[in-house]
Structure 1
Amino acid sequence: MANRRLTTLGWIFTEKFGLIFLSMITFVVYARLLSPAELGVGTIIIAIVELIGLIYSSVLEDPLVRLERLEDKHISTAFWAAVLVSLVSIVVISGAATLYTSEPMLQWMTAVASVKILFTMMARVYVAQMRRSGDFKTLASRTLLGKVFGGVGGIAVALWGFGAWAVIAQALIMELVSIIVLMRADPRRIAFHIDGPFLRELLRAGTPVAINALSSQTLQRGVNVVLGMAAGANAVGMFNMAMRIIDLPRTAIYNGLLSYALPAFSRRSAEPSRLLGIIDDSTAVSGFLLTPLFLGIALTASDVILLIFGAKWAEAIPLLQVLACAAAIGNTAMYATTALVAVNRSHLTIKAEVVTTLLALALVYGLGSVYGGMAAALALLARMLIITPLQIRGLNAAIGYGWRRFFDCNYRSVIASLVMAATVLYVSPLSGFQGYLHLICNIVVGALSYAVAYSVMHPRWPQEFKSVFTTR
């Protein structure tokens, strides 16, 4: 059992860290070849399409994973309902683009990008089945292959001088390759059949999940759209540069952990003590890894952007620092939504998610014309400061996960990260290094100071963290 769990996690993180590496390559190339405005245009269009696809995906995938028994009629219902909704969405989005803008290029970009919804939705039933069976090897393969082909295609389009089309080409090719790999791995014929009662049940179970996902992902994708309306494509390009640096490690690690966490939490949903135990352990391990990572990004933001991406992106430095701090705060309660889904109590935080999202978007729209991308960064930080306590309150009402557990899981990583930050800020100006040597020196000093501080507070952390993957 322990070996199987480690193998599963190994494939999950092979996929996710592979994505970090591949995404970093394409992102550096885009930063060199595209202007902030071109990157902004592509980002806005893909953000709209992905936001719509995310809503549909959330309604279907997690409820399918939670089902005690997944039958052929369930698969066919979910698959064909997804296909039909996707086709209608493509027509609606293409028509809306024609009405919104008179520029043919933007109309064509939006219409082509909307096809991504179809590929994304076709994949949901396959992904749900493989998550249920623990076939993370296939899931990792399809994502990595999609990223490779998408990255090559996007870079080729950028080299040919097509600007924002590069972002759209990459996203579309990734999803196409992904669904091809999934269908080859599971070459079943899905009969055309839609079971009305099951579809209604699926919608009832998935709607709260979709609303939660929509509210959080609106900030990741929708904020680009609102910022573009308020401050223009250049501001979106700067904000997206900073956001992508945060999202590369966050999305890879979060998605890997949460893909494993939902089925693991669901299996323990009937045993509150075991569920609380695995949430405690998972939060402690995640905090140990991610809190210093995000604070470290804030500390090295200037070197990272200027050395890797170039001086034309200098405006993104303070944005990156603010977003990194927001990510560090969010990490403390990263399993809240997943735990609520596992016990079917996700409705407890819906109002909080929606209200804080609308508040953040209002801040972006109201302040974007004055502060540009910084308005979006500060809005996300404010939202994180508000939503985290509300998520803990929801967990406490659902499963008894209160503030004492929250602090016990996070205090060591937070204190050790603050020690790390103070040490780096003190040593950095005294080191005398420049360029990449300065960046490397800060990383080494930060890692060593964090390791020492954490080990002083918790000398047995290696043995305890190992047990997380072999017990409970």
Structure 2
Amino acid sequence: MANRRLMTLIWIFTEKFGLIFLSMITFVVYARLLTPTELGVGTVIIAIVEMVGLLYSSVLEDPLVRLEKMDDRHVSTVFWFSVLISLASIVLISGAAVLYTDSAALQWMTAIASVKILFTLMARVYVAEMRRSSNFKRLASRTLLGKIAGGIGGILVALWGFGPWAVIAQALIMDMVSTAVLMLADRRRIAFRIDGPILRQLLGTGTPVAINVLSSQALQRGVNVVLGMTAGAHAVGMFNLAMRIIDLPRSAIYNGLMSYALPVFARRSSDPPRLIGIINDSTAISGFLLTPFFLGIALTAEDVILLIFGAKWAPAIPMLQVLAVTAALGNLAMYATTALVAVNHTRLTLKAEVTTTLLALVLVYGLGPIYGGMGAALALLVRMLVITPLQIRGLNTAIGYGWGAFVDASYRSVIASLVMAAVVLALSAHLHLQGFMHLVADIAIGAVTYALAYSVLHPRWPQEFKLVFTAR
């Protein structure tokens, strides 16, 4: 059992870290070849399209994963409903673009980008079935192949000088190839049938999940849209570079962890004490790795941006620092939504998710014209500070996960990370090094300091972390 868990996680993170590597390559190329305005235009268009795709995906996929048994009726219902709703969305988005802008280029970019929704939703039944069977090897293969194809296509478009089309080409090709790989591997014939009662059941279960996901994704995609409306495409480009540096590793790691965590939590949903135990263990291990990682990005933000992306992106440095601190705080309750999905109590935090997201968007709308991308970064920080205690309150109501468990799972990684930050800040200016050597020295000092501080706080951490894969 322990070996199976480890192999499952290995395949999950083969996919996710492979995506980080490939995404960083393409993103560095875009940062070198595109202007902030060109990057901003492509980002806003893809953000709109992906918000629609993610909304439908969340309604349909997670309820399928939670089913005790998924038969052909569920498959055909979800597949053909996905196709129909995708085609309708493509028409609506393309029509809205014609009404919103007089630019033929923007109209064509929006219309072509919206086709991504079709490929995203067609894949849902295949992805859900593989998650249910823990077939993360195939999931990893299809995503990596899609990312490679999309990255190559996007880079070629950028090299040919088509600007924002590069961002659109990458996203569209990636989803198209990923879906084709899944369908070729599973050549089942899906009957054209939509079962009304099954569809209503899935929509009823999935709608609260989708609202939570949409609320979360609005922070990553909706913020870009609002910022573009108020501060312009240049501000979106700057903010998006900082956000992507954080979001590439965070999304890859978080999505991998949540893909594994949901079925694990669901199997323990009827036993709250065991569920609390696995949430605590998972939070402690994730915080051990991720809290110093994101705080380290904040400490090295200047070197990272100037050395990798170039001086034209220097205004993004303070944005990156704020977003990195926000991501570090997000580790404290990272499993809250997944745990609530597992016990079917997502409604407990629904109002909080929606309200805090609206708060963040209002702050972006107000601060964007004054502070540009920094206004968006500060809005996300405020939202994180407000939503975290509300998520813990929801978990406490659902399964009895209180503040004591919350603090116990996180305090060691937080204290050790703060010690790391203090030491790096104290020594960094006195290293008399420049360029990549300065960056490497800061990373080395931070890693050693954090390891020592955490070991002082928790001497038996290797043995206890190992037990997570062999117990419960």
Q: TM-score, normalised by structure 2?
A: 1.00
Q: How far apart, CA to CA, are the structure 2 residues paired with 1:329 and 1:254?
A: 14
Q: Is 1:330 aligned to 2:344, yes or no?
A: no
Partner residue, 1:265: 265
- What's the secondary structure of 1:430's corresponding residue? coil
What residue number does 1:288 align with? 288
Distance 1:49 1:266 in 2: 31
Equivalence map 1:142-157=2 (5 Å): 142-157=142-157
1 CA distance for matches of 2:234 and 2:466? 46
Alignment map for 1:41-60 (pairs within 5 Å):
41-60=41-60
Spell out, residue by residue over 1:45-91, the C-alpha distance to the aligned partner (whole angstroms, 9 max, x if none): 00000000010000000000000000100110011001000000000
Amino acid at match of 1:372: G
Q: How does 1:102-251 map to 2 (within 5 A)?
A: 102-251=102-251
Residue equivalent to 1:98:
98
- Aligned twin of 2:69: 69
- Taking the aligned partners of 1:214 and 1:227, their CA distance within structure 2 comes to 17
Give 2:359's aligned residue.
Answer: 359
Q: Tell me, which stretches of 5 or more residues in structure 1 are unaligned?
A: none
The answer for the alignment partner of 2:438 in structure 1 is 438
> In structure 2, the residue corresponding to 1:151 is in which secondary structure?
helix
State the partner residue of 2:303.
Answer: 303
Structure 1 position 256, deviation (Å)? 0.5
In structure 1, C-alpha distance between the alignment counterparts of 2:332 and 2:359, rounded to whole Å:
22
CA RMSD of aligned residues (A): 0.5
Once residues 192 and 470 of structure 1 are traced to their aligned partners in structure 2, the CA distance between those partners, rounded to angstroms, is 44
Q: What is the rounded CA distance, in whole Å, between the counterparts of 2:337 and 2:29 in structure 1?
A: 35
- Distance in 1 (alpha carbons) for counterparts of 2:469 and 2:250: 21
The one-letter amino acid of 1:57's match is S
Distance in 2 between the 1:172 and 1:122 partners? 14
- Cα deviation for residue 186 of structure 1 reads 1.2
Kindly provide the amino acid, as one letter, of the partner of residue 211 in structure 1.
I
Shift of residue 377, structure 1, vs aligned partner: 0.1
Q: Superposed, which structure 2 residues align to 1:410-449 within 5 Å?
A: 410-449=410-449
Stretches of structure 2 lacking an aligned partner (at least 5 in a row): none
Shift of 1:267: 0.6
Structure 1 position 184, deviation (Å): 1.5
What are the equivalent positions in structure 2 for 1:348-427 lying under 5 Å apart?
Answer: 348-427=348-427
**2:93 aligned counterpart, secondary structure:** helix
Cross-structure match for 1:464: 464
Equivalent residue letter for 1:344: N
> One-letter code of the match for 2:8?
T
Q: Write the distance in 2 (CA, Å) between the matches of 1:204 and 1:48.
A: 24
Q: Which moved more, 1:343-352 or 1:177-186?
A: 177-186
Deviations 1:415-443 (A, max 9, x none): 00000000000110111100100000000
Tell me which residue corresponds to 1:320.
Answer: 320
SS in 1 for 2:114: helix
Q: Which amino acid aligns with 2:71?
A: E
Q: How many residues align?
A: 472
| 2-structure distance, mates of 1:189, 1:159 | 40
Structure 1 residue 185: Cα displacement: 1.6
Question: Structure 1 runs of 4+ off > 6 angstroms?
Answer: none
For the residues of structure 2 that align with 1:464 and 1:167, how far apart are their CA atoms?
44
Matches of 1:189 and 1:98 in 2, distance apart?
Answer: 37
Q: Measure how far apart 1:2 and its partner are.
A: 1.1
Q: TM-score, normalised by structure 1?
A: 1.00
Structure 1 residue 466: Cα displacement: 1.2
The C-alpha deviation readout for 1:264-292, integer Å capped at 9, x for no partner, is: 00011011111111101000000000000
CA–CA distance in structure 2, aligned partners of residues 23 and 327 of structure 1: 19
